[in-house]
Amino acid sequence: MTAQDDQAERDSLLSPRLAAWINGEVAALYPGYFALVMATGIISNALFVEGRRELSDLLFWINALAYPWLAILTVARALRFAQALWSDLTNPRMVFSFFTLVAASDVFGVGLQLRGCATAALALWLFALFMWFVLIYLSFSVLTFLNTAHGANVVHGGWLIAIVGTESLVILGTLVAPTAGEFTPAVFVLIHMLWGVGLGLYAIFVALFAYRIFFFEVGPDDITPLLWVVMGAAAISTNAGSTLILTASGLPFLDLMRPFIDGVTLIMWAWATWWIPLLLLFGIWKHGVCRVPLTYTPMLWSLVFPLGMYSLASLRLSLAADFPPLHTISYAMLWVAVTVWAATFIGLVITVWRSFHAFGREDMARPAQQDGSGI
């Protein structure tokens, strides 16, 4: 067989191999993968506000590809692997990961709104609101009726992502409310309510989280990137509160809430800041003391997002409180977030490349082993 024939045979096998590989990836799709869109989008939005338009636009267009692609994969999983999807939806350790779809839709919607696409942003907010209503009651039903004492682990479950999804509705809601016409007052009332619901959920979950971390034995497997959501949830609550402060609702009774929102927003920022050194110590203990290798996992995007959110939350708070020193903190954290995003994205590319080639080698080895030539 000539080299050209051999290459032609490999090319003819590529498409079926690629389809089979994608099929396997869809079946095992991590439901929290929309955190990639969240992380990319929040850094893009922060860069946009800082005036770094070129880098912001680059990340925005990456998101413009990632969001629909992940949506297509999720729909394909629902159609082809409905049982696997349902298994995740009814798993107390996985169901809250689906809130990344809500937060990703809102973060991407903010990026669209910043670029003048108000109608698309409003459509994404309505979609995210609908998904939030479905998931909030489904997830708590699963937690109530299908959970067990052994499975009730707030550390592994990523339960605080529900708060991130809730508060993300507030942030995009403040931007799209003026375009809602006669429903504008209702939208402003709703987003103030959602901000309060997010705070209530945070108070419940963070108490469980702290109790689990500080009063039970913690092993290296317990230290995952999802732990950073405890900081990210506080940061997005800060961002949402600052956005409410900076946006005029036109409703007197909402304006009377401003002093309360001011105080709570500052407290949430301080709480988010307090967690950062402790979370870094957790990482040092796992990877430095316990020698656990640092490898790519989709959960890493749940670490990148809080860094970007903390940066943007600090910037918004500096504007709401008229306290410029916070802008310096925001700017420094922004470039930390960009660096961690780049490292995580490289890890994603390498992992996908290795996964495809490993699948191809296994696929090519099967017929060889069947005829005895692979031994």
Counting residues of the chain whose pLDDT is more than 70, the rounded percentage is 89
pLDDT of the residue at 360? 61
Neighbours of 127 (CB within 10 A): 15
157 vs 118, higher pLDDT: 118
Mean pLDDT (the chain, rounded):
89
Confidence class of residue 374 from pLDDT cuts 50, 70 and 90?
very low
pLDDT digits (tens, 9 = 90+) for 355-373: 877 766 665 555 444 343 3
- Which residues are CB-contacts of 330 (< 8 A; sequence separation ≥ 6)? 46, 311, 312, 314, 315, 318
Per the CB < 8 A criterion, the answer to whether 300 and 225 are in contact is yes
> Which one, of 276, 281, 283, 323, lies nearest residue 299 by Cα?
283
> Which one, of 357, 285, 272, lies nearest residue 317 by Cα?
272
Q: What average pLDDT does range 317-323 have in this prediction?
A: 91
CB-facing half-sphere around the CA of 375: CA atoms within 13 A? 4
Domains along the chain with CATH numbers: 33-364 (1.50.10.150)
Does the pLDDT at position 61 exceed 50? yes
What is the DSSP-derived secondary structure letter of residue 373? T
Tokens of 211: 């109790």
Q: What average pLDDT does range 224-251 have in this prediction?
A: 94
Q: What average pLDDT does range 216-238 have in this prediction?
A: 92
Confidence class of residue 150 from pLDDT cuts 50, 70 and 90?
low
pLDDT of the residue at 375? 32
Please, what sign has the CA dihedral across residues 250, 254, 258, 259? positive
> Which one, of 193, 164, 6, lies nearest residue 98 by Cα?
164
Please, what sign has the CA dihedral across residues 242, 245, 249, 255? positive
pLDDT digits (tens, 9 = 90+) for 261-316: 999 999 999 999 999 999 999 999 999 999 999 999 999 999 999 999 999 999 99
pLDDT of the residue at 151? 57
Q: What average pLDDT does range 329-337 have in this prediction?
A: 96
pLDDT of the residue at 361? 63
Tokens of 127: 């979609």
Please, what sign has the CA dihedral across residues 192, 195, 201, 202? negative
Calpha distance 326→361 (Å, rounded):
52
- Which residues are CB-contacts of 40 (< 8 A; sequence separation ≥ 6)? 59, 62, 63, 66, 341
Calpha distance 22→20 (Å, rounded):
6
Tokens of 31: 């439901």
Does the pLDDT at position 157 exceed 80? no
Q: What average pLDDT does range 67-95 have in this prediction?
A: 93
Please, what sign has the CA dihedral across residues 316, 322, 324, 325? negative
pLDDT of the residue at 93? 85
Query: 13-22, 313-322, 344-353: which range is least confident on average?
Result: 13-22
Threshold 0.85, pTM exceeds = yes
Q: What average pLDDT does range 324-331 have in this prediction?
A: 93
CA angle 191, 193, 199 (to 5 degrees): 105
227 vs 149, higher pLDDT: 227
Please, what sign has the CA dihedral across residues 234, 96, 277, 215? positive
Tokens of 276: 């950062």
What is the DSSP-derived secondary structure letter of residue 225? G
Does the pLDDT at position 71 exceed 80? yes
158 vs 307, higher pLDDT: 307
Q: What average pLDDT does range 232-243 have in this prediction?
A: 96
Confidence class of residue 217 from pLDDT cuts 50, 70 and 90?
confident
Calpha distance 375→369 (Å, rounded):
7
- Which residues are CB-contacts of 308 (< 8 A; sequence separation ≥ 6)? 39, 42, 43, 46, 334, 337, 341
pLDDT of the residue at 5? 53
Calpha distance 155→297 (Å, rounded):
16
Does the pLDDT at position 244 exceed 70? yes
Query: 33-42, 188-197, 356-365: which range is least confident on average?
Result: 356-365
Neighbours of 6 (CB within 10 A): 10
Assign residue 252 a region (left: φ > 0; alpha: ψ between -120 and 50; beta: otherwise). Answer: alpha
